[in-house]
Amino acid sequence: MSTMLGLLQAIPYEALLIQTLNGIVTGMILALIASGLTLIFGIMDVVNFAHGELFMFGAYMGVVVISATGSFWLALVLATLIVALIGAALQITTLRPLLGRDPLTTILATFGISLVMQNYALWQFGPVARKIPEPFSGQFTLFYLEYPWYRVLIAVLSAAIIGGFYLFLKYGTYGIWIRATTQDRVMAEAMGIPVSWVHTAVFGIGAGMAAASGVLFGPLVGVNHAMGLDWVLKAFIVVVVGGMGNLGGSIVASIFISLLEAYASIWVSPAQAVIVSFVVLILTLLFRPTGLFATPK
């Protein structure tokens, strides 16, 4: 009895709460990146290795627009739009000609794009990390911490973007086109849906969402040319755990894995906590290789 009590008392409740909040914030950012990734995979069977670089480009676009205009919000909107257009252009020039080929060719193509984008960013902006200032600096007291409101806002904004996108998919005409194309490309085409443009649009939307998360997350870390790597790796884990191509699954998996990592970092260093996501990935691949939330196609 007394050992039970001792165990219960040993749980750091305050740290748990703080880490829950942290986990949700990173989870939402991750969800924003992973939604685009899973959607692109679901609709055209393309594993987009350049997704992290679209995230990184978004952050840099944010840096550029903020230094020109001083407005974080304008930066968020412009970076999203510009990177969405870049994504659409990349799809038309690089992926559209490969449609129907071996998936390996698209993996190589997107990997190539990612190298080009990384090195372009290095050449253009140099190796020193840039900062995106927080759009406001309010804080609230959470136990022994001053917790920035901006972090809460990140979670809310990411959720709003994902929610808006969900409504668009569910009710919008183009949303129905996207879902129909995901399920049956050939029949969608026979119903008059311009499938190749749907592919381009989805790639653009995915790129835009990655860019938005880049700008939103910029203030928490430095912006540099390699920042996409960590995130894309995590986003891939989440997409696999959530079930390749399953939007809802990726979102749940993003929050699930981010929470686990956040809790783990109470006891081990954050760098070691990353191991948790790999453990989840391996367990998923072993026991539910189609993903935790896979729906039968």
Partner 1 sequence: MTPDATPIEPLVAVEDVHTYYGKSHILHGVSLHVDSGEVVGLLGRNGVGKSTTLKTIMGLVHPHRGKVLFAGKPITSLPAHKLARLGIGYVPEDRRIFRLLTVMENLRTGLDRHGMTEARKQELLEKAFSYFPVLAERRNQAGGTLSGGEQQMLAIARAMMLEPKIILLDEPTEGLMPRMVSQIRQIIDVLHREGVAILLVEQNVPLTLEASQRVYIMEKGAVRHHCPASALKIGDPLIQQYLGV
Closest CA to 236 of 24, 27, 23, 37: 37
For residue 92, the minimal CB distance to partner 1 (Å) is 15
Evaluate whether 153 touches 91 at the Cβ level (below 8 Å): no
Which residue lies nearer to partner 1 by CB, 141 or 173? 173
Q: Considering the rule CB under 8 A, would residue 184 count as an interface residue with partner 1? A: yes
Q: Considering the rule CB under 8 A, would residue 295 count as an interface residue with partner 1? A: yes
Query: Contact region for partner 1 (CB under 8 A) — 128-136, 171-179, 207-215, 250-258?
Result: 171-179
For residue 82, the minimal CB distance to partner 1 (Å) is 28
Q: Considering the rule CB under 8 A, would residue 133 count as an interface residue with partner 1? A: no
Q: What's the CA gap between 41 and 43, in Å, rounded?
A: 6
Identify the residue among 64, 99, 157, 193 touching partner 1 (CB under 8 A).
193
Q: Considering the rule CB under 8 A, would residue 187 count as an interface residue with partner 1? A: yes
Please state the φ and ψ torsions of residue 225, each to the nearest 5 degrees: -70, -20
Identify the residue among 183, 267, 272, 289 touching partner 1 (CB under 8 A).
183
Q: What's the CA gap between 165 and 159, in Å, rounded?
A: 10
Q: Considering the rule CB under 8 A, would residue 10 count as an interface residue with partner 1? A: no
Q: Considering the rule CB under 8 A, would residue 195 count as an interface residue with partner 1? A: yes
Q: Considering the rule CB under 8 A, would residue 100 count as an interface residue with partner 1? A: no
Evaluate whether 214 touches 55 at the Cβ level (below 8 Å): yes
Quote the tokens at residue 28: 């939402």
Q: Considering the rule CB under 8 A, would residue 167 count as an interface residue with partner 1? A: no
For residue 200, the minimal CB distance to partner 1 (Å) is 14
For residue 127, the minimal CB distance to partner 1 (Å) is 46
Q: Considering the rule CB under 8 A, would residue 177 count as an interface residue with partner 1? A: yes
For residue 64, the minimal CB distance to partner 1 (Å) is 37
Please, which of residues 41-80 interact with partner 1 by CB under 8 A? Answer: none
Q: Considering the rule CB under 8 A, would residue 176 count as an interface residue with partner 1? A: yes
Which residue lies nearer to partner 1 by CB, 186 or 286? 186
Return residues touching partner 1 (CB under 8 A): 173, 176-177, 179-180, 183-184, 186-195, 295
